[in-house]
Amino acid sequence: MKDAQDANAERDQATKYMRLPWPLVAAGLVALLAVVFGVGLYANRNLRPQVGLVPTSEPALVAAPPATPTPQVATAAPTPAPAVVVQATASPPAPMVTPTPAPLVVTTPTPAALPTVEPALADEVGNAYVMFWRVRSQALLELDSSHLAEVMDGDYLQNFVARLNDLRVQGRAIKSQVVLNYTVLQVNDRTATVFDRLEDTSFYVTPGTEQPLADETNDVLLIEFKLAKTQDSWKVVDSVRQQ
């Protein structure tokens, strides 16, 4: 009897629980599932670590501000100094007598004629004296005596030819470099006297090559030359060297 009562009591208890309405239970389950699904979705989006490529941001292009041009200060170009032309006023230079073809350096100022010497005669004698030095210098350089008789005569000519012969034997010649500073002292119909302060820097050379064999001389010679007029030309016939 008691067992039957217990069985009825259990059935009543079970029946009490089963009496809940099904729509309410279903709505509760749907609500529960929605809550669970929402919580899961939230956790998936916010709590789960994100895996993927993080884009590298490109550097921003910053336009440089336009350079402020440095103000140019206008400077006046320097005015060039005017060219200064210096013109020296001088007396005409002494005529340069260049030997042809002998390389003689001869400077001859206008011969100073004494009051007793007629200027035309002084010029005539002076020109003959310069020609004498041209021929003389060429003969010493080339060891050639073929033109000596045109400017010298007498013993002076013979002595000079002998000197050329000595130079040939010695195997050397002379390159003449002289500066003439002469004065016509006396002239008459047949004779003339020329005084010269001669600057001589001549030197010995090898014949035909002008290769120097010795240093230049450096002499100042005081020489008085005697000239004689033969036919229509003046020739040197003697010389006296002063100390």
pLDDT above 70 (res 47): no
pLDDT for 66:
43
**Domain extent listing, the chain:** 96-242
Answer for the pair 64, 97: CB distance below 8 angstroms, yes or no. no
pLDDT for 61:
39
Answer for the pair 132, 236: CB distance below 8 angstroms, yes or no. yes
Lowest mean pLDDT among 30-34, 98-102, 193-197, 200-204: 98-102
pLDDT above 60 (res 155): yes
pLDDT tens-digit readout, 182-228? 999 999 989 999 999 999 999 999 998 889 999 999 999 999 999 99
Higher pLDDT, 29 or 110: 29
**Cα–Cα distance, 193 to 187 (Å, whole number):** 7
Which pair of tokens denotes residue 235?
A: 């020739």
CATH number corresponding to 96-242:
3.10.450.50
pLDDT above 70 (res 65): no
**Cα–Cα distance, 28 to 39 (Å, whole number):** 16
Q: Give the predicted TM-score (pTM) of the model.
A: 0.56
pLDDT above 90 (res 123): yes
Judged by DSSP in three states, 110 sits in: coil
